[in-house]
Structure formats: C-alpha cells, structure tokens
Amino acid sequence: MPESKSRKKKDVPSKPTPPVAAKPQGGNPRWLVPTMLGLMLIGLAWIVLYYLTAPGMGLPIPALGGWNLAVGFVFIIAGFGLTTRWK
C-alpha cells in the first residue's frame, strides 16, 4: 500500500508580540480577614444575646424588639459579603 507524503507547513514569519505586563499578584489587605470574622462573630453574639437574655434585662437594645435579629443578621451578611474579596 502506498504511503502518503507528509505535507510541510509554510513558515510564516510571525510578528514579535510585545511582552504583556502581568498584574501584580497582591494578597488580601491586612484588615480583611479580622474584619470579616469580627463582623460574623458580632452578629452571632448579638443574636445569641437576644435569645438568651430575659425581656426585662434590656439587652441588646430593648427598643428594637424583634428587629434585634435583623441587626444580627446584617452583621453576619456584611461579614459574608467581605468573603467575596478574599483571594
């Protein structure tokens, strides 16, 4: 059986490409992780404090009533929002 001849590609001179400057690989800012964890822990502590204290003690903020849960969850959500910046 006859063998096929291999085809040679023509050498096309390519234009030299200028070197691309790489983005600096910066890490996390120093404040990110402590702030992220702090917000999550403050939110958790706020909710736990609200559930564990008696209504007459006035903790965490008595005027808010049930909205104390929303305040705790806002802290937690803000902490989770900072996790999107973590590299």
Block means of pLDDT (10 residues each) for the chain, 87 residues, are 74 72 77 96 94 78 87 97 91
> Comparing C-alpha atoms, which of 75, 19, 23 is closest to residue 46?
75
Task: State the burial class of residue 59 (Cβ atoms within 10 Å of its Cβ: 0-12, 13-18, 19+).
Answer: middle
Can you give the pLDDT at residue 81? 96
Q: Which pLDDT belongs to residue 63? A: 83
- pLDDT value of residue 18: 76
Which pLDDT value is given to residue 27? 85
